[in-house]
Chain A
Amino acid sequence: MARTLFDKIWDAHVVDRMADGTCVLYIDRHLVHEVTSPQAFEGLRLAGRKLRRTDATIAVVDHNIPTDADRAQGINEPESKLQIETLEANVAAFGVPYIPVNDARQGIVHVIGPEQGISLPGMTIVCGDSHTSTHGAMGALAFGIGTSEVEHVMATQTLLQKPAKNMLVRVDGQLPAGCTAKDIILAIIGKIGTAGGNGHVIEYAGEAIAALDMAGRMTVCNMSIEAGARAGLIAPDETTFAYIKGRPFAPKGADFDAAVAYWKTLPSDAGAVYDKVVVLDAAGIVPQVSWGTSPEAVLPISGAVPDPAAEPDEAKRAQLQQMLTYMGLAPGQKLAGLPVDVVFIGSCTNSRIEDLRAAAAVAAGRRVAPGVRALVVPGSGLVKAQAEREGIADILIAAGFEWREAGCSMCLGMNPDKLTPGQRCASTSNRNFEGRQGPGGRTHLLSPAMAAAAAVTGTLVDVRELV
């Protein structure tokens, strides 16, 4: 029977199947960070259990860590400090490989997994973080889990799961100039909604997806969770293999060749059946900006904010009104020209070298607009170093951007990088929920190029007018 990419990875990881269809699913890689692991380690300790496979596990701090240059001197905020120290004590006690803060490789867990060759095609990869879907860009089944499941994987290297349904999102044609992977995924979420992928694993395919580099594929898969899907997948191809070759934890020599031979068997078979199919035309995509407090509340930059009065359903009308009130927007207001206070370029969605190059291309020879605070937060220490070698950091610094250390930063308001109430932010992150970037903060999701354009003009603007 013809199988999908998801079916193949699933089948290859079933250890045992119970009568009701629940499977014991083997997990190849477990990524651990400071926020969702302390209670799991505590659970192991209370039950007198060990990690089954420390060699399939790696830990890093990213959510809580400050991104200022002084952080090497210690962390001031007591709760963050305790959480980080707890992780360090736990990895030492349980023998888990760990990339410490002062290591050049430290960074956002979803950036360093692929960067180090830890995340590979055909694997099952989990982490106590919903954006684990990012690693699906490698052609792996990667999904976020709660802390109880973090403990379960630590103890057993498996999860109890039933297979998800298959969903195909095909993006045909070529993406217009000035549009990026971020615009593709925002357009997809705008089309299918934040519950559009519930119960499904999304496979992204089509000409526009195949044409993306690995960073772009990671951006697309990253936001699968914002479309309600637990995981997103892209079939591994020559772009994938070229990216992996030579990375520190990737297979070497004959092992690499054997792995590639296996990875080439993974793409979905012709005639494989999907439970749901959505098709988009890339040529019709224009730069996207979110306007509300749900990722599905997204529009082309040329668009205007909806008028709640036109919504017939009372509950939906009230929610539209609440979004406009929170975001400080009027019905029918145009997005282009809206002044911003802060620009954030970073997060597991858009902090890779390709993202920073795109931002620098727009910022080159320009200045951050007066009164705007613009932050660039590389996804890892290695991305930061590469950007410095390439001269990208110099361009951004000369333009007036803050050039910071790696971490989750202003994506989620868990570290010192936060919005203050009422501040409007053009952000390359993934969630625009109320209070996500700090209580009362107003988030507009967009691509790195669009964010850089907002920084230098001081307003939301169509980046195509600047290039």
Chain B
Amino acid sequence: MDKFETLTAIAAPLNIANVDTDKIIPARFLKTIKRSGLGVHLFDSLRYLPDGTENPGFVLNQPKYRKAEILVAGENFGCGSSREHAPWALLDFGLRCVIAPSFADIFFNNCFKNGILPIALPAEICAQLMEDAALGTNARLTIDLAAQTITRPDGRSISFDVDPFRKHCLLNGLDDIGLTLEHAPAIDRYEAARPAWTPAIAGV
């Protein structure tokens, strides 16, 4: 996983509530055995017209937002499925940070596993950032994860909360599995103390 330290980039506004995982990437594109290459299908139903051509009205199709690396979105972003294809598609497109008033739990968690920083902020602050994002090529925000700040285009700064453990993993690009395996002796002890009736799935 890539480290996330600081990011200065264009922010794109997507002022829609309840953007679901089928909207981020429809189920028909999940038939892949890889993590890469999903960016072309990101927001498929919004981004493309029924004939397959780009919808010029969609924010990420506008020249000023094509290089966006930050998304400012509406409440309950990422609701629906547990598919990690949703953050993979965001990442493959180039988006590294999503700011919204709230997120669905599984999506929020999946972001951290892929070097994407999801930031939940009060609705009124998100509304200000949505206005910043509407500035197009001037919609540059700077995210400093160590300092937990977002610097707006006018130089003012907003602070945000992040779980300390997830922050540590993101700043250092750490592999969760490696960290957990340090607890292997505790896992061994736990398993040894399990009640005898706990069945195993043998002989399927």
Shortest CB distance A103–B (Å):
9
Q: Is A397 among interface residues, defined by CB-CB distance under 8 A?
A: no
Complex contact B33–A82 (CB within 8 A):
yes
Complex contact A433–B104 (CB within 8 A):
no
Which of B62-70, B137-145, B173-181 binds A? B173-181
Which of A207-215, A235-243, A249-257 binds B? A249-257
CB-defined contacts of A15 to chain B, threshold 8 Å: 183, 186-187, 190
Q: How far is the CA of A132 from the CA of B76 in the complex (A)?
A: 20
Complex contact A315–B17 (CB within 8 A):
yes
Q: How far is the CA of A132 from the CA of B81 in the complex (A)?
A: 10
Complex contact B22–A156 (CB within 8 A):
no
Complex contact A130–B81 (CB within 8 A):
yes
Q: How far is the CA of A440 from the CA of B51 in the complex (A)?
A: 13
Q: Is B147 among interface residues, defined by CB-CB distance under 8 A?
A: no
**Interface 0/1 of A406-424, CB less than 8 Å to B:** 0000001110000001000
Q: Is A282 among interface residues, defined by CB-CB distance under 8 A?
A: no
Q: Is A307 among interface residues, defined by CB-CB distance under 8 A?
A: no
CB-defined contacts of A433 to chain B, threshold 8 Å: 20, 22-23, 80
Q: Is B61 among interface residues, defined by CB-CB distance under 8 A?
A: no
Q: How far is the CA of A149 from the CA of B110 in the complex (A)?
A: 8
Shortest CB distance A361–B (Å):
32
Q: How far is the CA of A218 from the CA of B176 in the complex (A)?
A: 32
Knowing A28-B198, A36-B82, the reply to whether A199 touches B110 (Cβ < 8 A) is no
Complex contact B187–A49 (CB within 8 A):
no
CB-defined contacts of A431 to chain B, threshold 8 Å: 20, 22, 80
Q: Is B199 among interface residues, defined by CB-CB distance under 8 A?
A: yes
CB-defined contacts of A182 to chain B, threshold 8 Å: none
Complex contact B204–A98 (CB within 8 A):
yes
Q: Is A97 among interface residues, defined by CB-CB distance under 8 A?
A: yes
Max chain A CB contacts within 10 Å: which of B27, B113, B179, B186?
B27
CB-defined contacts of B26 to chain A, threshold 8 Å: 413, 435, 439
Complex contact B187–A195 (CB within 8 A):
no
Instruction: Name the one of A39, A64, A198, A255 contacting B105, with C-beta atoms under 8 angstroms.
Output: A198
Complex contact A118–B201 (CB within 8 A):
yes
Q: How far is the CA of A77 from the CA of B31 in the complex (A)?
A: 10
Q: Is A72 among interface residues, defined by CB-CB distance under 8 A?
A: no
Instruction: Name the one of B30, B34, B75 contacting A195, with C-beta atoms under 8 angstroms.
Output: B75
Interface size class of B (residues with CB under 8 A): 35 or more
**Interface 0/1 of B33-69, CB less than 8 Å to A:** 1110000000001000010000000000000000000
Q: How far is the CA of A29 from the CA of B17 in the complex (A)?
A: 34
Q: Is A265 among interface residues, defined by CB-CB distance under 8 A?
A: no
**Interface 0/1 of A250-289, CB less than 8 Å to B:** 1100011011001000000000000000000000000000
CB-defined contacts of B75 to chain A, threshold 8 Å: 195
Which of A140-148, A352-360, A450-458 binds B? A140-148
Complex contact B83–A36 (CB within 8 A):
yes
Shortest CB distance B89–A (Å):
13
Complex contact B164–A20 (CB within 8 A):
yes
Q: Is A194 among interface residues, defined by CB-CB distance under 8 A?
A: yes
Complex contact B164–A250 (CB within 8 A):
no
Within 8 A of B (CB), among A31-61: 35-36, 38-39, 42, 47, 49, 52, 55-58
Complex contact A198–B34 (CB within 8 A):
no
Knowing A198-B102, A433-B20, the reply to whether A36 touches B183 (Cβ < 8 A) is no
Shortest CB distance A284–B (Å):
26
**Interface 0/1 of B108-142, CB less than 8 Å to A:** 01100110000000000000000000000000000
Complex contact B81–A83 (CB within 8 A):
no
Q: Is B28 among interface residues, defined by CB-CB distance under 8 A?
A: yes
Minimal Cβ-Cβ distance residue in B for A440: B50
Knowing A148-B84, A230-B105, A249-B201, the reply to whether A64 touches B31 (Cβ < 8 A) is yes
Knowing A47-B177, A195-B76, the reply to whether A145 touches B106 (Cβ < 8 A) is yes
Complex contact A228–B105 (CB within 8 A):
yes
Within 8 A of B (CB), among A80-130: 80, 82-83, 86, 97-99, 117-118, 120, 128-130
Complex contact B187–A158 (CB within 8 A):
yes
Minimal Cβ-Cβ distance residue in B for A319: B17
Complex contact A160–B176 (CB within 8 A):
yes
Minimal Cβ-Cβ distance residue in A for B114: A148
**Interface 0/1 of A375-401, CB less than 8 Å to B:** 000000000000000000000000000
Q: Is A67 among interface residues, defined by CB-CB distance under 8 A?
A: no
Knowing A194-B76, A319-B17, A439-B45, the reply to whether A146 touches B113 (Cβ < 8 A) is yes
Within 8 A of B (CB), among A419-446: 421, 431, 433-436, 439-440
Knowing A195-B102, A413-B28, the reply to whether A130 touches B82 (Cβ < 8 A) is yes
- Additional A-B contact list (8), CB under 8 Å, known A39-B35, A148-B114, A316-B17: A36-B30, A39-B34, A128-B82, A148-B110, A149-B113, A151-B177, A156-B184, A228-B79
- Report, nearest first, the 6 A-B pairs whose CB atoms are least far apart: A148-B113, A144-B82, A97-B204, A146-B84, A255-B197, A38-B33
17 A–B contacts from the bound complex (CB under 8 Å): A16-B183, A20-B164, A58-B204, A98-B204, A130-B106, A143-B106, A146-B109, A148-B114, A156-B177, A158-B183, A198-B103, A228-B76, A250-B199, A255-B199, A413-B26, A433-B22, A439-B50
